[in-house]
Structure 1
Amino acid sequence: MSTAVEQKGNWRRLAALRKLPLTLGLIAVLWIVGATTGSLLAGPPEPLLEQVGIGLAVEPGPWWAVFTSGFFASSLLDYLACTVMILIGVGIAERTMGPWLALAAFVAGSALSALVLVALVEYGTDNSDQWLSFLGGEYVVGAYGGAAAALGCSTAALESLWRRRLRTWLVAATLMFALFVGVAQTLQALSGAVIGILAGWAAQSWILRRQAGKLHSSSLRETRFLVGTVVGVFAVGPLLTQLTGTLDVGPLSVVSQVMLQASPTADEVREACDDDQSCVTLQGVVGVQSFGATILSLIPVLLLLVCAEGLRRGRRLAYRLTLTIQLYLAAVTTFAVLQYVTDPDVTLGNDDVGYLLLYAIPAIVAPLIIVFLLLANRHKFRVESSDASYRVLGRTTLIMAGAAVALYALFWFLEGNPGCSTGWDLAGQLTHILVPFPVPFVTELPQGLLSTVLYGLGGDVIWLCILFLVLGNYQKFRAVATDPAADLGHARELIHDGGGSLSWMALWENNQYWFTPDRKAGVAYQVHNGVALTVAGPFGAAEHHADAATGFLAHCSALGLTPCFYSATDELDGPLLPRGFRKLEVAEETLLNIQTMTFKGKEWQNVRTALNRADKLSITDQWHHYRMMPPGIRAQLAEISEEWVADKALPEMGFTLGGLDELKDPEVLCCVAVDDDGLVHGVTSWLPVFTDGAVTGWTLDFMRRRTTGFKGVMEFLIASAVNHFKEDVPQISLSGSPLANTDSRNTTGSGDGTDPGEGDHSALDRVLALLGNALEPMYGFKSLAAFKSRFQPEHRTLYMYYQDPLSLPSIGLAVGSAYLPGLSPARSAGLLRHMVAREPAQ
């Protein structure tokens, strides 16, 4: 079965590629031309290169070179990189603009970016700029400028959210390559990106006649995203320079030397070991040339990426960490430069001064720019974690650091290091373990097995644990509510003023509350995986629901949370869709217009059979509030509930599914099917729905039946509810069946008239489909939905409103966490096995 699913997925991917004839055609031309001209392995031969390449500060070559250069590459690896660029840049442009406009953007972008590159190099050569003049004297080929221009131009056809993000990422990526790698192709890619974005902006403003369309969400989110992107680029850039080796000549290429740990060469290790082969071998296995040393060199990158994610979420901890790291890098770089220029053995010539101006000064200025950016926006990173989470992080860090220092010092002395090293060497070696960044001084390597193991792997263990704890810290929030009991009481008051059929569920455990400033409406929500997942829509008087929805968005933005309205009706279309939200169908609520129901006709045969069987067995419906039930009935309800839970491999679900505890609310009604012997066969609970202080409906929640109870007890209980409520309210709800309709999802686009695209919610579809199919054998959501359909209901769609398509996987995981709170690791592993073993619903 899994093979069939994989084959079906492969066919879908092939079908998607067939929709890109221009993209595939350009890739085919690139490789065919390269193969026929013998250019695949080492680029075009010299005579051909002079005819098809862009001449930089050499003979300009023929005019057509600005067009032909985009169909060649300089090596096999370069051909692969150009293929990826065309597939991404031209592929997205073709899907959004069509093949002809995409082709025009690629060709024009290639030519214009080539002219800009030539002008830059000529200017640098004329003014003796060390970077740009270094690029002169060669011919350049590559599709980077055209692909980047096509991608930048295509952003004009996207909706505002994707337009802003794609432009930010494109500029950030091309700028990173230009500053950290700095070869001619990276400058051409940056030029193409800027040209394409400007062309797209012009087309958007003058041809499409529409504004840039800034998102209506707070600029707080925009700023956090931008600052996080800048920090992320600065994190990945140094790693990029190490991966590209000797190719990097960009102004920030030296940053890797002060940010990433560099492994010593084989000769340096042999010298440090005094040519002792056992010492050299030990350093290669667990020391400074081991896999652990490689991991340690990646720690600064991972740390800054974690900080970038925290800044995107507005976390104060990420702000403090980033500020500290950038100040440290600026200080170490400054110290290294001052140490170099004040060395009496160094005589600075013009070339040395030019080198310092080109490489050293930007390496100091870059982290200071980030520091300034952080300080200027410091009030936008105020999301604090819980005090307990800070204590865990601080205590664990101190314990690990203290243990590392104590153990290393002990091993250092026991293994005879004082005889060949000094106390300063010990201090430097401890710094190597505790600080993931290079230190501006040289120390001797330790001698001995245990010292070497801790020296090579101790920093990895400490910092990977710290990164894990920091990520966990991002999931915690300092309590917003100063008086949870008062908030719960006020929420109950507002629900009496008005709400939907699911609003009563807002009073259950694990919910937090946000109220409008005038406290006339509110929203109940849970935080899972960085997502603020609401329990249905706003509650309170109906005229305040729109203000509550938009105010809740600002509340989530301030906390760095992703807002998601779950199981809400389409009343939120007005306040949310114009703000870039989309809605996804997650359930069908079943409504019964009970005042017109008579249970007559063929379609009601099952219900009449259940009523007749109950009459023959002398089973009656008894209506109670839980506290007013006879003790014997309460005891049997607990027994039935425990029996039902024990039959499941997983615990009771929560969120929009109540359990026995939710029956105990004094305003919840229970209907119990009891026979003459006092035996309870089944039970249902009904949640009140209020409008202006009066009950205007009831919603079915708790449903349990005894295993040995009579067949048709649930039909009997619901039919009894119809007859019981008929004189008081016009309508009752059988609620929705969660995760039961993962195969019938419907997406509505944002309010700007653009379609969201077929793939936007595919990640969430898959997560919810896997979750629904894994839980179906245990909870039977689909069979429950089929059962409710026997009552000939009207259906009302319940939606999930979300704004950010990239957050859909997180939202899917948040939904799973909300329905299964506190799942143990063993049960989580079992659920995961069920999820990956079962085929999603088709």
Structure 2
Amino acid sequence: MTGATTDSRPADDVEPKGRLRSTGELIAGFVRRIPFSIVVAVLLVVTAALTGTMFGPAGEDTLEFWAAGVISTFEGAQWWTVGTSIAIPQDPFQLVFGVLAALLLLGVAERRMGTWRAIVAFTVTGLIGTALGAWLQWFGGEVGEWWATGTAADLTLDPLAGIVGALIASTSFMGALWRRRIRLVTLAAILTFVLYDGDSSNVYRLIAAVAGYLLGALLAGDASKLSVRRSSHAETRTLVAAVIAVTAIGPVVALLNGTELTPFAFASYLFAEQPVSLDELVARCGDTASSLSAQCLSDLAVLTTQGFGMFLLSFVPVALLLLASWGLHRGRRFARWLAITVNAAILLFARTSLDATFTANDVEDDWSAFDLVELLVWAVAALALPIALIIMLVVTRRHFGIRSPREAFRRFVAIVTGTFVVLAAAYFLVGLATLDEFWPAATPADLAVDTLKRFVPPHFLAVVDPIVVPGHDLTSVLWQGVGVAFWLVFIIAAIRLMTRARVGAGADAARLRALLRRNGGGTLGFMSTWPGNVIWTSSETDAAVAYRVINGIAITLSDPICRDEDAGRVIREFAAFCDANSWVPVFYSVHPQYLPIFEELGWQHMSVGEETIVRTKGLELTGKPWQKVRQALNRGVKEGMTTVWASWDELPRATVAEINAISEEWVAEKEMPEMGFTLGGMEELKDPDVRLMLAVGPDGRLQAVTSWLPVFRDGEVIGWTIDFMRRADDSMNGIMEFLIASAALRMKDDGAEVLSLSGAPLATKPVAPGETAPDPTVMSRLLEFLARTLEPAYGFSSLFRFKAKFNPDYETISMAYPDPLALPTIGLAIGRAYLPEVSPKEAVALVRTLTK
């Protein structure tokens, strides 16, 4: 990483080098800007000491006088409790958590929207959440609603209501990335606790969060902050994974709290009972299933959930969803199907879970109509969450397309299937040998069904016949252990599966990079390493071609990676390879030196863009042509702007977060999804061979970022090609000119030969005086339509004009194709390559263009 420079050369001749802020500097600056949050943290410590909650739970007198609830706030008319309840922690755990939340979460809110807004947001949302929550409890109790009746005696001390409300309010002052992340994850976490725990404080926090959502837009004076904006592929994966992970812990919350207040707490009933003895049940209930009373069946259901193995097995859905969350974050297709399957299983077994609840609690038959309606509402609520998660996973399926190699998947299936067969056979055979020791008396058919039940969480099938328990020691060990062992093997095998990646036909990443370093591949050659490409390697020479197949069209990316003298042979061999697979080969973004080869083959070619190239040897930013660039560079130096040249792995975490935020804000402002193919995104920045040039403001905040792809020749880097370009909304005017000019000066000093500003997709350079424009063709009309359609969202023409400021040389990049009759299909394939998420409506519009 570079440090500050004291070079005495004029500002327009030197790259203004700087450094990134350290984590310690960030923390110190953060603390200086959160005085109110520090006051709240200190207040919690003082009130805990004064009320006695610092070393133990709040006493009855403390709760009755200071806590909010139906009894104190409404029936006791102690209105001050609405305010005092958000200033006093209820126990030592809440004190510690409240202090940390005040310093971190409330601190973030104060840092984002200022001290006075943080005071307003904390106070208003805390009061609204507590007062409205207590009123809903009172009103619900009056009409006999289950949750309100069950919590009517609760008295709540909860500073987190105001903290959560302020945090959500502050998201209206954040960029798209963190606004979306904080809202979604916070709401998912609160809803999980509401649905699986049902404590009054969780409902108060939910109401405070909703109030903060509305208040934040009011304080910001911008109603658009309430809307949902587009996110990138990587961010969508992160958000979906976070939702799956947060909702996965819900059953753990219900199990640990043993609550009876929510429709999601069915499993907790089975584990909340006192241990049941098999010997006592046999003595009391008889030996056959037909003679068992309702109470004996209830006790038997509880007995089947006891033991360490059954306890672990009950957490299998949680473990699988957390595993799926990890895989979803990595974009794995297997993880999406795993999450869908687990939630579908929860739906499938929801009825038996409800049966288990009432079997274990001996529900009476004298329910009122209101009770039945309430039960229906709770049952629908229990089904709504997994249904909503499945819908979310289906809607976002395009973001999770990374597959494992077929060999790896076959190995996974073999391991999982083999493990199941071995464990199931072991339990069945041992159980068959000790069949006379099962209770109630079991038949081989009963044992066969019970063998399958050993692999299912107990609360899913606890009350499904047959219900039998082994009496023999060895059978009991297998009864407890085979399910746990199977799922442990499944999880380990799934982790290995989701860490495997597909590689191109016959080539791995290391070989491709070795070919690039040795043979070059041109200024756009490094794009061949990007995800989505398949690598074909020549059987006759040391060469490779990166391509992707869309609708039977094999579209290559840039020039073949080979020695110049081998280009003709490689192109012919790749064309033969495509023909053997019934694909139409299309070489896209190839440079002029390869066009004679295609002409010899009888192929046609046409321009698909212009690459802008700056020669860095002897570069001087002097004269009128460089005036605008020189002005931006000098302005940046005067305003204290500096640059940092680094790889992704060298960046501090804080800088990584800033880059993510800038990128997400850029994506959110676009009307159409991110483009791919020849345009890289956030994932491509993380390649260790890619370098980043960052613009850092005088306050240490990141203002803009660019990424640079290496250009190789004979194992050496001889140039760099720009790819990723993003700037913060509040950055300096001319920040990109400043940043690219600084990069050019650095490359000149490092001895690089060429700086490529990359190709401008679908752009054409102006026709020179005296020249005539070529006659339009079907394909040229299609490309012109694409350019017009995408210009408002992506600004290709504007970008092309921007690059002209750097006085580049222009080099036309072309598309070569063998069959003009395939042009309609080629056009659609190129559209899908650039916009893999293109809607059916947009695709139809592309086709209609061809008929004009």
Report the TM range for the smaller structure's normalisation: 0.5 to 0.7
Match of 2:365 in 1: 347
Matching residue within 494, 498, 501 for 1:470: 494
Following TM superposition, by how much is the alpha carbon of 1:186 offset from its aligned partner in structure 2, in angstroms? Answer: 0.3
| 2:657 paired residue number | none
1:153 and 2:169 correspond = yes
Equivalent position amino acid for 1:254 in 2: F
The question of whether the paired residues in 1 share the 8 Å contact of 2:557 and 2:678 is answered with no
2:435 is the counterpart of 1:411: no
CA distance in 2 between partners of 1:523 and 1:302 (Å): 46
| Cα distance in 2, alignment partners of residues 523 and 68 from structure 1 | 72
Which TM-score applies when normalising by structure 1? Answer: 0.56
Alpha-carbon separation, structure 1, partners of 2:348 and 2:265: 17
Deviation, 1:95, is 3.3
Cα separation, partners in 2 of 1:121 and 1:80, compared to 1, 3 Å: same
Secondary structure in structure 2 of the residue aligned to 1:231: helix
Q: Is 1:254 paired with 2:266?
A: yes
CA drift of 1:188 comes to: 1.0
- Does 1:232 find its partner at 2:248? no
Where does 1:459-498 land on structure 2 (aligned, <5 Å)? 459-478=483-502, 498=523
Higher relative contact order (CA 8 A, sep 6+): 2
Q: Cα distance, 1:582 vs. partner? A: 7.0
User: 2:126 aligned with 1:102, yes or no?
Assistant: no
Q: CA–CA distance in 2 between the matches of 1:504 and 1:357? A: 56
1:296–1:460 Cα contact (<8 Å) kept: yes
Which of 333, 344, 348 matches 1:327? Answer: 344
Amino acid at match of 1:266: P
Deviates more, 1:304-313 or 1:137-146: 304-313
Q: Which residue matches 1:132?
A: 148
Deviation, 1:24, is 3.4
Give the aligned CA root-mean-square deviation in angstroms.
Answer: 5.4
CA 1:217–1:572 in structure 2 vs 1: closer, same or farther (change >3 Å)? farther
Task: Give the Å deviation of 1:43.
Answer: 5.1
Q: Is the 8 A contact 1:272 1:444 kept in 2?
A: no
Which one of 429, 433, 456 corresponds to residue 435 of structure 1?
A: 456
Question: CA distance change for structure 1 residues 329 and 562 in 2, over 3 Å: closer, same or farther?
Answer: farther
Looking at structure 2, the residues matched to 147 and 255 of structure 1 have their Cα atoms a distance apart, in angstroms, of: 31
Are the aligned partners of 1:504 and 1:688 in contact in 2 as well (CA < 8 Å)? no
Aligned length: 571
Contact 2:544 2:560 in 1 (8 A): no
**Structure 1 counterpart of 2:477, one-letter code:** V
Pair 1:300-2:277 in alignment: no
- Alignment match, 1:705: none
1:386 alignment partner in structure 2: 405
CA distance in 1 between counterparts of 2:683 and 2:446 reads: 46
CA contact (8 A) 2:428 2:448 kept: no
**Pair 1:242 & 2:250 matched:** no
Amino acid at match of 1:238: P
| Distance change in 2, residues 1:320/1:419 (3 Å) | closer
Give the superposition deviation at 1:70: 0.8
Cα deviation, residue 520, structure 1: 6.0
Q: Are the equivalent residues in 2 in contact too, given 1:56–1:118 (CA < 8 A)? A: yes
Secondary structure, counterpart of 2:454 in structure 1: helix
Tell me the distance in 2 between the aligned counterparts of 1:387 and 1:360.
41
Q: Once the 2 structures are TM-superposed, how far is the Cα of residue 409 of structure 1 from its aligned partner? A: 2.2
Q: Does structure 1 retain, via aligned residues, the 8 Å contact 2:432–2:447?
A: no
Contact 2:147 2:261 in 1 (8 A): yes
CA-CA distance at 1:363 after TM superposition? 2.0
* Partner Cα distance (2:134, 2:123) in 1: 17
Aligned equivalents of 2:591, 2:152: Cα separation in 1: 70
Q: Are positions 1:35 and 2:49 aligned together?
A: yes
| Distance in 2 of aligned mates of 1:117 and 1:64 | 15
CA deviation string 1:311-367 (max 9, x = no partner):
455543333333333333223222455799999996241175255235333223433
Partner of 1:266: 275
The CA deviation at 1:39 is: 3.7
1:512-527 correspondence to structure 2 within 5 Å: 513=546, 519=556, 521=558
Alignment of 1:545-556 (within 5 A): 554=676
Aligned residue identity for 2:414: R
Question: Which range moves more in the overlay, 93-102 or 302-311?
Answer: 93-102
Whole-Å Cα distance in 1 between the matches of residues 226 and 754 of structure 2? Answer: 33
Quick check: 2:404–2:502 contact (8 Å CA) kept in 1?
A: yes
CA distance 1:561–1:263, shift in 2 (3 Å):
farther
Within 1, Cα distance between the matches of 2:307 and 2:86? 41
Amino acid at match of 1:453: V
Structure 1: distance between partners of 2:258 and 2:38:
31
Q: Hey, what's the Cα distance between the residues in 2 that align with 1:198 and 1:52?
A: 28
Offset at 1:62? 4.1
Are the aligned partners of 1:341 and 1:348 in contact in 2 as well (CA < 8 Å)?
A: no
- The Cα of 1:114 is off from its aligned counterpart by 1.8
Which letter does structure 2 place at the counterpart of 1:239?
A: V
1:753 corresponds to: 730
8 Å contact kept, 1:585–1:797: no
Instruction: After TM superposition, give the deviation of residue 148 of structure 1 in Å.
Output: 0.2
Runs (5+) with no aligned partner, structure 1: 1-7, 276-286, 525-537, 574-579, 590-655, 657-686, 690-697, 702-731, 737-746, 756-788, 800-842
Q: Are the aligned partners of 2:181 and 2:239 in contact in 1 as well (CA < 8 Å)?
A: no
Alignment of 1:688-703 (within 5 A): 689=713, 700=716
SS in 2 for 1:54: coil
Q: 1:72–1:470: structure 2 CA closer, same or farther, 3 Å change rule?
A: same
Q: Which of 120, 124, 128 is the equivalent residue of 1:112?
A: 128
Verify: 1:23 aligned to 2:37, yes or no. Answer: yes
- Aligned pairs for 1:215-226 (under 5 A) are 218=232, 224-226=237-239
Q: 1:554 to 1:253 in 2, by over 3 A?
A: farther
> Secondary structure, in 3 states, of the residue corresponding to 1:450?
helix
| C-alpha contact 1:73 1:141 (8 A) present in aligned 2 | yes
Task: Give the distance between the partners of 2:231 and 2:560, measured in 1 at CA.
Answer: 18
Q: Aligned equivalents of 2:591 and 2:65: distance in 1?
A: 74
Q: Give the secondary structure class of the aligned counterpart of 1:434.
A: coil
Residue identity in the other structure for 1:475: T
Structure 1 distance, partners of 2:246, 2:313, is 20
In structure 2, the CA distance between the partners of 1:255 and 1:583, relative to structure 1 (3 Å rule), is farther
Distance 1:341 1:249, change over 3 A: closer
Is the CA contact 1:140–1:184 (under 8 Å) kept in the aligned structure 2?
yes
Q: Distance in 2 between matches of 1:98 and 1:796?
A: 49
Does the 8 Å contact 1:264/1:289 carry over to 2? no
Q: For 2:451, give the aligned amino acid.
A: L
What do the CA deviations read for 1:698-737 (whole angstroms, capped 9, x no partner)? 6637xxxxxxxxxxxxxxxxxxxxxxxxxxxxxx67x99x
Displacement of 1:21 after TM fit? Answer: 4.2
How far does the alpha carbon of each residue in 1:822-841 deviate from its partner, in whole angstroms, 9 at most, with x for none?
Answer: xxxxxxxxxxxxxxxxxxxx
Q: CA deviation at 1:253?
A: 2.4
Q: Which runs of structure 2 are paired with 1:713-752 in the superposition (5 Å)?
A: 750-752=727-729
Q: Contact 1:56/1:121 (CA < 8 Å) preserved in 2?
A: yes
Instruction: Give the Cα separation in 1 of the matches to 2:275 and 2:156.
Output: 36
For 1:12 and 1:63, how far apart are their aligned partners in 2?
41
Task: Note if contact 1:411-1:451 (Cα within 8 Å) is conserved in structure 2.
Answer: yes
* CA shift for structure 1 position 172: 0.8
Q: Is the 8 A contact 2:517 2:712 kept in 1?
A: no
Match of 1:67 in 2: 83
Cα displacement (A) at 1:571:
8.8
Q: Does 1:564 align with 2:686?
A: yes
Determine whether 1:143 maps to 2:187: no
Match of 1:454 in 2: 478
Tell me the TM-score normalized by structure 2.
Answer: 0.55
CA distance in 1, matches of 2:455, 2:246: 25
1:182 maps onto 2:182 in alignment: no
